[in-house]
């Protein structure tokens, strides 16, 4: 059984083991795969693991022996599912492996905006505390979360975990989804935008919600709202967010994702004030990545046993 990992470095830069897969077949691990390298590397592979390497129809044509693709992620939009079906290839993913980590990152971003830890750390190390006439000082506005309203766009496993944390902070939680719920916390998107002090995005990116945060939706938000994005960069019109930050409509934008990754140097968010950006690392704690690998190992083991799990197609 020939098993190929096409882009193993992102999930395993060397601190995890590939041993379980090695025990299941002839394993080849590539750190990264360029588009022009893909067909040669997957030739005769029966099982492929990948994270962000696209598999289009031509790739399926190039590897007629392929039986399984297991995605080292939850999202699978980089795979042509129709081509997979046409070639009889199973596609599996790893859902819910990062729930706690992404919820944790959501609050890391929010707490940076509300407590300004980085700014004050830099000020202390620059000598401003030593020179202070008082026992303390603050150089940016600080915010208490208790009593504020947290609006969640999407209410899957991650958003539900965020809701638990928000409620533990004493926040009121609202959420909106594509389908109506009887839960009293459920509101329309417009109501959520109008009432929330903090808005956090937790929905998949689709053709329908591309740039759902745009001049129109921003205009419905409270002045001075905080926007958090740990979902997908394409949910946000980044030029519009830049303008909202510059004009003070948004107090802060904090995101772990952008529309094109790695971020382009001409992305307007790089020059926006009150904007915090991290390089798509919400999923990256070692414990989280180990869980991701374990799920994928089980995906392969289950497939070989004749009982595939986490099946997309």
Catalytic-role residue among 22, 26, 82, 261: 261
127 to 38, 119, 131, 146, 175: CA distances (angstroms): 53, 13, 6, 32, 43
User: Which residues have C-beta within 8 Å of that of residue 254, sequence separation ≥ 6?
Assistant: 109, 110, 112, 113, 226, 227, 228, 229, 275, 276, 277
Environment class of residue 282 by beta-carbon count within 10 Å: exposed (0-12), middle (13-18) or buried (19+)? Answer: buried
pLDDT at 229: 98
Q: Are 278 and 308 in contact (CB under 8 A)?
A: no
Report the pLDDT averaged over residues 181-188: 96
The verdict on whether 232 is a catalytic residue reads: yes
Q: Is residue 310 part of a domain?
A: no
Provide mean pLDDT across the span 84-103. Answer: 97
Model pLDDT, residue 220: 98
Shared-domain flag, residues 84 and 144: no
Per residue in 33-53, pLDDT tens?
999 999 999 999 999 999 999
In terms of domains, do 149 and 196 share one? yes
297 pLDDT band, cuts 50/70/90, is very high
55 and 124 fall within a common domain: no
Catalytic residue (one of 232, 289, 291, 293): 232
Cis (ω within 30 of 0) for the bond into 17? Answer: no
Do the Cβ atoms of 241 and 272 come closer than 8 Å? yes
What total of structural domains would you count in the chain? Answer: 2
- Same domain? 129 vs 89: no
Does one domain contain both 134 and 230? yes
Q: Are residues 190 and 204 in the same domain?
A: yes
CA distance 202 to 284: 17
pLDDT tens digits for 223-281?
Answer: 999 999 999 999 999 999 999 999 999 999 999 999 999 999 999 999 999 999 999 99
- Residues 64 and 38 reside in one and the same domain: yes
Residues 132 and 39 in one domain: no
Same-domain pairing of 32 and 104: no
Q: How many CA atoms lie within 13 Å of 274's alpha carbon, on the beta-carbon side?
A: 24
Domain containing 55 equals 2-97+286-304
Domain membership flag for residue 313: no
Annotated active-site residue 280? The verdict is yes
Same domain as 159, residue 242: yes
- At residue 71, the pLDDT reads 98
Q: Let me know whether 29 and 129 are in one domain.
A: no
CATH of the domain at 150: 3.40.50.720
194: in domain: yes
Pair 165, 259 in one domain: yes
Answer yes or no: is 312 within a domain.
no
CA distances (Å), 70 to each of 7, 213, 302, in order? 12, 32, 11
Residue 246 domain flag? yes
Q: Mind listing the pLDDT tens digit for each residue in 186-214?
A: 999 999 999 999 999 999 999 999 999 99
Q: Where are the alpha helices (DSSP H) in the chain?
A: 19-22, 38-42, 57-62, 81-86, 99-115, 117-125, 157-168, 189-195, 215-219, 238-247, 286-304
- Domain annotation covers residue 74: yes
Q: Is the distance from CB of 166 to CB of 185 less than 8 angstroms? A: no
């Amino acid at each position: 059984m020939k098993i190929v990992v096409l882009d193993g470095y992102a999930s395993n830069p060397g601190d995890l083991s590939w041993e379980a897969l090695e025990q299941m077949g002839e394993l080849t691990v590539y750190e990264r795969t360029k588009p022009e390298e893909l067909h040669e590397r997957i030739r005769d592979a029966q099982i492929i693991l990948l994270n962000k390497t696209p598999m289009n129809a031509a790739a399926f044509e190039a590897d007629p022996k392929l039986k399984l693709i297991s995605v080292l992620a939850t999202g699978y939009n980089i795979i042509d599912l129709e081509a997979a079906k046409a070639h009889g290839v199973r596609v599996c993913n790893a859902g819910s492996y990062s729930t706690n980590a992404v919820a944790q990152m959501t609050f890391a971003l929010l707490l940076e905006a509300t407590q300004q830890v980085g700014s004050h750390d830099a000020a202390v190390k620059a000598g401003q505390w030593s020179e202070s006439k008082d026992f303390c000082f603050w150089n940016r506005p600080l915010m208490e979360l208790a009593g504020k309203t947290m609006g969640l766009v999407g209410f899957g496993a991650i958003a539900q975990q965020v809701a638990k944390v928000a409620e533990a902070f004493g926040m009121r939680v609202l959420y909106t989804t594509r389908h109506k719920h009887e839960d009293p916390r459920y509101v329309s998107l417009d109501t959520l935008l109008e009432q929330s002090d903090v808005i956090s995005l937790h929905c998949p990116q689709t053709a329908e919600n591309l740039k759902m945060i745009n001049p129109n939706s921003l205009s419905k938000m409270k002045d001075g709202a905080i926007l958090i994005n740990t979902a997908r960069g394409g949910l946000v019109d980044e030029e519009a967010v830049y303008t909202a930050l510059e004009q003070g409509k948004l107090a802060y934008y904090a995101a772990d994702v952008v529309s094109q990754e790695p971020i382009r140097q001409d992305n307007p968010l790089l020059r926006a004030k009150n904007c915090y950006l991290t390089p798509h690392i919400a999923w990256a704690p070692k414990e989280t990545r180990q869980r991701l690998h374990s799920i994928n190992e089980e995906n392969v083991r289950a497939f070989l046993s004749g009982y595939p799990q986490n099946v997309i197609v």
